[in-house]
Structure 1
């Protein structure tokens, strides 16, 4: 299942297609079908995108039942297409929407599902590795039934195009029972603008947590992010206290990031926050507690007060940059 944002395939869906390609190759060239549901904007453009990422066919489910999102109704569409195609694997991005739809499908088919998969290690039986406990641990799980159902953890695969031809488009209108339309989205609103740039796609993120002290304690954090050409990310407690807007939150209930460099300052590194930043390539933590989880997990760490460390770092960057 492919999710779209403003008519464009989401990055996490393209990452899911990357895993599907690897799975297809391991299985001797199993066909990859992409399923899009409801209004997806320019279908031809979407077909070109998913084709470039390995899908040979784009199945587009349309109808009044899909004018808005509903977990049960979308699962009904996936179930209908799966039954018609005989697909042995059904997967989606490990987003709130992807996890909900696949969970509904698993209940309908009475088969298990694996959420937040990061790798697979065998086809017979089909064995996957998935994130558990908020991403702080990995679990190996065997999916012995068919179809195998799972979602893919964000940033666990690289969404690289393979320059394939545009996928063939096929429109379907799955039947949806009235009971599947009881719970669905009835209205949406524009999300809060992210004036600091895209947190999910940033290559450098400077983070701050309770150690900032107050809403006025982010001056050096903002400056460091600006000097490095990055954006600011914060822990849940910061947004809960109203110090910073929610769109800057990193973690299980915020954004999952995978920057080249993450600099968490005054963040202890609770499981929920680690779930959002564990894919960072390099982590440089600044914290007064040498035993804080973020410090012990970081690539490098500076044990000290962020209000003393960051101004000194900023001054040195300005000096070196002239």
Structure 2
């Protein structure tokens, strides 16, 4: 449908959002049209008959400047990299209707798995994320993180270690192979801060690390750090929040 829409409009560029679904769709468009796809772009500008791009590479630790030459630019935006802003001089929008001619075989859907979606706030959109890693110690250890997250109106995340150990579902994993988050506050409890995890949380406005190791990468990169045992600090923090809010 998208390739047909492009043919209909004759657009010079097709841009997808910074989501897993958009990345998958744009990859299919690139394969069907035999055009190059530039993913995770942070800046785009037309130049010399092509496009000058800046895009995120290597899980967010590298910015690459490239020049793309193609009849049509296929691009996806890097997630959580560009804040929304008002246009300097907003233009009038026009609404056009378009109905693609799809093959009937494309209407067939096969259900391969049914997964129940838990209630509460989504990890990807939560304003506060309380994450736990190896230092939490067990699945039961996440109970205090869940209590704190509920008090702060947030969600619970975890590192890959917690997922691999069976303490949390993969749906809760923050990182390059999990969910990338950009909350107002990210609290990393007992998480060392490996690169693949840092990529998933580095867009948070503020990061608080709680760890016994003052040299842990998460501690050195965080905006704030508390050096201590999370099993002592979190219960005290929960008690203080309850006292300030008058919660019994």
- TM-score by length of structure 1 reads 0.66
The CA distance in 1 between the partners of 2:41 and 2:53, in whole Å, is 7
Residue of structure 2 in register with 1:138 after alignment: 63
Equivalent pair of 1:192/1:247 in contact (CA under 8 Å):
no
Q: Does 1:148 align with 2:76?
A: no
Report the Cα offset of residue 171 of structure 1. Answer: 0.8
Q: Matched residues in 2 for 1:163 and 1:237: separation?
A: 49
- 1:123 and 2:123 are equivalent in the alignment: no
3-state DSSP class of the match of 1:217?
Answer: helix
**Are the aligned partners of 2:129 and 2:156 in contact in 1 as well (CA < 8 Å)?**
yes
| Shift in alpha-carbon separation, 1:247–1:192, aligned structure 2, 3 A | farther
Deviation, structure 1 residue 164: 6.8
Distance 1:149 1:286, change over 3 A: same
SS across alignment from 2:75: strand
Aligned to 2:221: 297
CA shift, 1:155, in A, is 2.4
Identify which of structures 1 and 2 has the higher relative contact order when contacts are C-alpha pairs closer than 8 Å and 6+ apart. 1
Relative to structure 1, the CA distance from residue 249 to residue 192 in structure 2 (aligned partners, 3 Å threshold; closer, same or farther) is farther
CA contact (8 A) 1:266 1:286 kept: yes
Whether 2:204 is the aligned partner of 1:280: answer: yes
Matches within 5 A, 1:172-211: 172-174=100-102, 186-211=110-135
Equivalence map 1:98-117=2 (5 Å): 98-117=22-41
Map 1:1-322 onto structure 2 (within 5 A).
77-120=1-44, 122-124=45-47, 125-158=50-83, 167-174=95-102, 186-322=110-246
> What RMSD in Å do the two structures reach over aligned CA positions?
2.7
- The answer as to whether partners of 2:56 and 2:63 remain within 8 angstroms in 1 is yes
Against the structure 1 CA distance between its residues 277 and 140, is the aligned structure 2 distance closer, same or farther, given a 3 Å change threshold?
A: same
Shift of residue 160, structure 1, vs aligned partner: 7.2
Residues of 1 paired with 2:18 and 2:115: CA distance? 20
Q: CA-to-partner distance for each residue in 1:207-229, whole Å, 9 max, x for gaps?
A: 11111001111232122212222
Q: TM-score, normalised by structure 2?
A: 0.84
Q: Assess if the C-alpha contact under 8 Å between 2:158 and 2:173 holds in 1.
A: yes
Q: What is the CA–CA distance in structure 2 between the aligned matches of 1:188 and 1:262, rounded to whole Å?
A: 34
Aligned residues: 240
Q: 1:109 to 1:273 in 2, by over 3 A?
A: same
- Extract unaligned runs of 5+ from structure 2: none
CA-CA distance at 1:100 after TM superposition: 2.8
Give how far 1:108 is off.
Answer: 4.1
In the alignment, the residues of structure 2 paired with residue 294 and residue 89 of structure 1 have an alpha-carbon distance, to the nearest angstrom, of 39
Question: What secondary structure, in the 3-state scheme, does the structure 1 residue paired with 2:213 have?
Answer: coil
**What is the CA distance between 1:283 and its match in structure 2?**
0.7
1:231 Cα offset (Å): 1.4
